[in-house]
Amino acid sequence: MPGIKSVVKLLHDVAAVVITFVERAKSVKDKRLGYLALTTLADICDNEIVYLAVNTVVKDVASKSPAVITIALNCMVHIVSIDIIPVLLPIAEKRLSHSDGNVRAKSVMALHRMYLVGPEFVHSPQRHLKQALSDKDPEVMATVLPYVYDVLKTNPELRSSFAPKLVHILKQVVKNRLPMYMSRQGVPAPWVQINIMKSLFFCVDNLKENDSLANILIEILNRGQSLNNTASYSVVAECTHLISRLYDAKHEAFQTVLGCMGCFLHSKHPNLLLVGLQLLSELTTVDSTCCVQYQDIIINSLSHPDMTVKKQ
């Protein structure tokens, strides 16, 4: 259609102007504004705009200013395609060793995106993961955890080597070794805990005899029972998923998590009640009799006014 072709041509003309603006920008504020416009255009236009922007991004990632580098790396996350991964990959890898923590965190995000778009081009993702997991900046460590999850999900041979490191980090988090600003509602870095446990879910065969992990999970559950807030509920729920895969019904961790179900099942909020019923159903796959102590709640749920709760 002529109208659509005109719009596409106009967008390409605008993109050329934006790229020129980014190249000539003197201040970080102008760079940020230009890259924001560029990423927006890249999302709605074809790859030609991306190709035009690559040289600009590569040049800015090589800048001496950490602020400019982070802005360019953030743009890289949005414009990555299979065709340009070979060009961008070594540049992002080099920035993993930058002295600025924000640059290293953005590098991890860019590498993660490249792995998702073209995993065949990222030949040794474990190098990125190990370097970032051992980073002195906890923000970098937290940023790499979703990348760890995606790599372990599709690479079973790497799970045994990463499981001990993840358990060690989880222990440090639970012991409040991370900065206080990463805590939420009294829970130490809840999203870090959740992401670690999601990755450990793939490593259960390497963890069943790990007493240290069992003690950590029990500590997480005991803390979660005493807080009763969104962050603690989220961590307890993820902990339940992991324990249901790791231990039998006689294990202390299983008995502890079974007791935690009361936090959900005794709630008057239908969403929490629903989550509790779902988690309890998961635990019954380990022990079909574990729900006996909650049978009155289960029976009452059959007449609950919320249809979703009733079905569960």
Give the model confidence (pLDDT) of 56-101 as tens digits: 899 999 999 999 999 999 999 988 989 899 999 999 999 999 999 9
Dmax (CA) of the chain: 71
Residues above pLDDT 70, as percent of the chain? 94
pLDDT of residue 46: 59
C-alpha closest to that of 56 among 86, 115, 97, 15 = 15
pTM: 0.89
- Which of the residue ranges 1-10, 77-86, 124-133, 218-227 would you say has the lowest mean pLDDT? 1-10
Average pLDDT, the chain: 88
Q: Which residue has the higher pLDDT, 52 or 258?
A: 258
Residue 217 falls inside a structural domain: no
Residue 224 falls inside a structural domain: no
Give CA–CA dist 211/215, Å, rounded. Answer: 6
Q: Which residue has the higher pLDDT, 52 or 72?
A: 72
Residue 116 falls inside a structural domain: yes
Lookup: tokens for 280: 């309890």
Q: For residue range 252-296, what is the model confidence (pLDDT) as tens digits?
A: 999 999 988 888 888 888 888 899 889 989 999 998 888 888 888
Q: For residue range 185-220, what is the model confidence (pLDDT) as tens digits?
A: 889 999 999 999 999 999 988 787 778 899 999 999
Lookup: tokens for 76: 């890289």
Residue 225 falls inside a structural domain: no
User: Which residues, in sequence order, are CB contacts of 237 under 8 Å at separation 6+?
Assistant: 275, 279
pLDDT of residue 2: 47
Residue 247 falls inside a structural domain: no
Residue 287 falls in which region: left (phi positive, over 0), alpha (psi -120 to 50) or beta: beta
Lookup: tokens for 289: 């009799």
Residue 38 falls inside a structural domain: yes
Rounded to an integer, the average pLDDT of 141-147 is 97
Is 153:160 a contact under the CB 8 Å cutoff?
no
Q: How many domains does the chain have?
A: 1
Q: Which residue has the higher pLDDT, 120 or 211?
A: 120
C-alpha closest to that of 229 among 267, 281, 195 = 267
pLDDT at position 8 over 60: no
Residue 77 falls inside a structural domain: yes
Residue 111 falls inside a structural domain: yes
Q: Which residue has the higher pLDDT, 209 or 108?
A: 108
Q: Which residue has the higher pLDDT, 307 or 109?
A: 109
pLDDT of residue 9: 61
**CATH code: domain of residue 105:** 1.25.10.10
Beta bridge partners of 184: 187
Is 195:178 a contact under the CB 8 Å cutoff?
no
pLDDT at position 1 over 50: no
C-alpha closest to that of 49 among 91, 5, 9 = 9
Residue 106, domain extent: 1-123
Give CA–CA dist 100/108, Å, rounded. Answer: 13
Give CA–CA dist 97/107, Å, rounded. Answer: 9
pLDDT at position 245 over 80: yes
Lookup: tokens for 168: 């060690």
Euclidean distance between the first and the last CA atom of the chain, given in angstroms as a whole number: 50
Lookup: tokens for 208: 């069943």
Q: Which residue has the higher pLDDT, 192 or 14?
A: 192
